[in-house]
Amino acid sequence: MARPGAASPPLLKHLNERTVLDAIHAGAPISRAEISRRAGISKPTVSLALESLREAGLVREARRGPDGPSYGAIYFEPVAEAALTLGLDLGTHFVRGAICDLGGTIRARQDVELAHADAADAVDAITRLRATLIDATALAPELIDAAVVGVPGVIETDSGTLRLAGNVEGLEGRQFGDELERALGVPVTLENDINLAALGELWQGAARGVDNFAFLSVGTGLGAGLVLGGALHRGRHGAAGELDFALGARSDSEDPCAAAVSALAGRLSRDGRETELAPPYDTRAIFGAARNGDGVAREVIAEVARRIAMHVAPIAAVADVELVVLGGGIGANGDLLLGPVGRMLADWLPFPPRVEVSTLGDAAILTGALAVGLQAALDNVFTRRQALTA
């Protein structure tokens, strides 16, 4: 009789196979001996797991090993095309999409403009984009395991209903994920777009290797994604990072977003000083003028830096994050913002975080969507393999 809590032989077999599969994904091309060393499993056990995984079509012998002598060793790699994941980023005027395989390689990528910023048009655009991306991969559509979609809003944890989603007409109060599942024919995961941007930076961007950080997006709107202990922190209602409400009765004197910055530039430009700034006071023009030495523009940028630092400080003080990554159309201007933001945080906080600019730019949300989908696909292909062999 098995001891209470002891793992059964089938369970141990599946655990070993999953450990071997993860080692191959992490280190391919990788030899049997190296898998054994990394996974802490005996070579005979690794051999049994490899045979089972090969039969399931999840791993194969690699055509070539890493650089250097192989001494006759056989190397293994994952079958990247065993499943695909579809990542999507829904914005006010566009949908960005990509398909990646189990190796994390993007097989197809495309952005499309939305004729109208409303939910119905978004569903149609996403459906067409999915078809275009599949055609570009030249792979079977059945290989798509699931879709992960970044949306501007809060997805209620219990109901999946979208809240605070005013940027796209018709999204507010909608169970948008259910609609997309019916349209795409695959499971759909909705996630806040800034949360996905944070996960994108964790996977392939400025936050690689950092377990505690915040991604702060400053552009037409303001939002944050918080990663604590290496995992996304969503909060009780899925509303963690909604910085528009962080300062309570906030006025335009603390708003770092585009409309408030343009209004500030307009006010300062009317005081009689010479400046190249002119209506409509586009934020890109303001930053460009500041780089050209325009005094009024530089004053605007100094105030933008102060407002950003004011929003970073509470996050850093409460969560004690190691890093803050700035993104968005305004936050991406690191050459003008990083220095002053960092100095203010150093003055205000006993343990200021490091501040960097996103290395992914506009692709951060989409990268995060692919990261989430990739992990789910890896779990799902293994779960299906378990079911077939049970």
Whether the Cβ atoms of residue 286 and residue 303 lie closer than 8 Å to each other: no
Amino acid type, 209: G
Amino acid type, 34: E
Residue 142 neighbours by CB distance under 10 Å: 11
> Which of helix, strand or coil describes residue 156?
coil
CA–CA gap between residue 116 and residue 93 (Å, rounded): 7
CA–CA gap between residue 2 and residue 339 (Å, rounded): 62
Select from 246, 211, 222 the least CA-distant residue to 317. 246
Confidence at residue 244, expressed as pLDDT on a 0 to 100 scale: 76
Amino acid type, 321: V
Task: Write out pLDDT tens, residues 189-226.
Answer: 999 999 999 999 999 999 999 999 999 999 999 999 99
Segment 362-375 shows an average pLDDT of 96
CA–CA gap between residue 152 and residue 36 (Å, rounded): 44
Q: How many CA atoms lie within 13 A of 141 on its CB side?
A: 11
Confidence at residue 69, expressed as pLDDT on a 0 to 100 scale: 57
Task: Write out pLDDT tens, residues 311-337.
Answer: 999 999 999 999 999 999 999 999 999
What values do phi and psi take at 361, rounded to 5? 60, -135
DSSP 7: P
DSSP 63: S
Take residue 283 and report the two structure tokens written for it. Answer: 């934020």
Task: Write out pLDDT tens, residues 65-101.
Answer: 877 656 678 999 999 999 999 999 999 889 999 999 9
Task: Write out pLDDT tens, residues 130-166.
Answer: 999 999 999 999 999 999 999 999 998 888 899 988 7
In the beta sheet, which residues pair with residue 212? none
**Residue 87 parent element (H or E):** strand 84-90
Given a cut of 50, whether residue 1 has pLDDT beyond it is: no
Whether the Cβ atoms of residue 325 and residue 357 lie closer than 8 Å to each other: yes
In the beta sheet, which residues pair with residue 96? 89, 111
Segment 112-120 shows an average pLDDT of 87
**Residue 94 parent element (H or E):** strand 94-101
Confidence at residue 247, expressed as pLDDT on a 0 to 100 scale: 63
* Whole-number average pLDDT of the chain: 91
Q: Is 120 exposed, middle or buried (0-12, 13-18, 19+ CB in 10 A)?
A: exposed
Estimate the crossing angle of helix 334-348 against helix 295-319, to 10 degrees. Answer: 50
Whether the Cβ atoms of residue 328 and residue 311 lie closer than 8 Å to each other: no
Confidence at residue 345, expressed as pLDDT on a 0 to 100 scale: 98
Confidence at residue 2, expressed as pLDDT on a 0 to 100 scale: 44
Select from 106, 345, 53 the least CA-distant residue to 216. 345
